[in-house]
Amino acid sequence: MKAKIMNFRRSLKRINKRHYLIEVNATNREEAEKFTGKQAIWKSVTGKEIKGEVKAPHGNKGLVRAIFEKGLPGQAINTEVEIK
């Protein structure tokens, strides 16, 4: 399933470089909880894959939080990620 990387998980003064907020096809928190534990794979233009895992829902509008094994580049924001 295709999803979209929205932004880093962040606070006012700190950015978590391995944590990303991902928009999946969910409209509320209960639907987003179904994606917990699934694998997220981001593919670069050169074909390199960086793997992560969906850990928890984020907020009440259907976003999820994914933690990747290493940080994604800044160009990954607003690109697609595959959820398996």
pLDDT in tens, the chain (84 residues): 999 999 888 889 988 889 999 999 899 999 999 999 999 999 999 999 999 999 999 999 999 999 999 888 888 999 999 999
Task: Read off the amino acid at residue 55.
Answer: K
CATH number at residue 69: 2.40.10.190
**Per-residue confidence (pLDDT) for residue 68, from 0 to 100:** 94
**How many structural domains compose the chain?**
1
Distance CA(75)–CA(29), nearest Å, equals 27
Task: To the nearest 10°, report the CA torsion of 83, 69, 62, 25.
Answer: -20
**Structural domain of 37:** 2-83
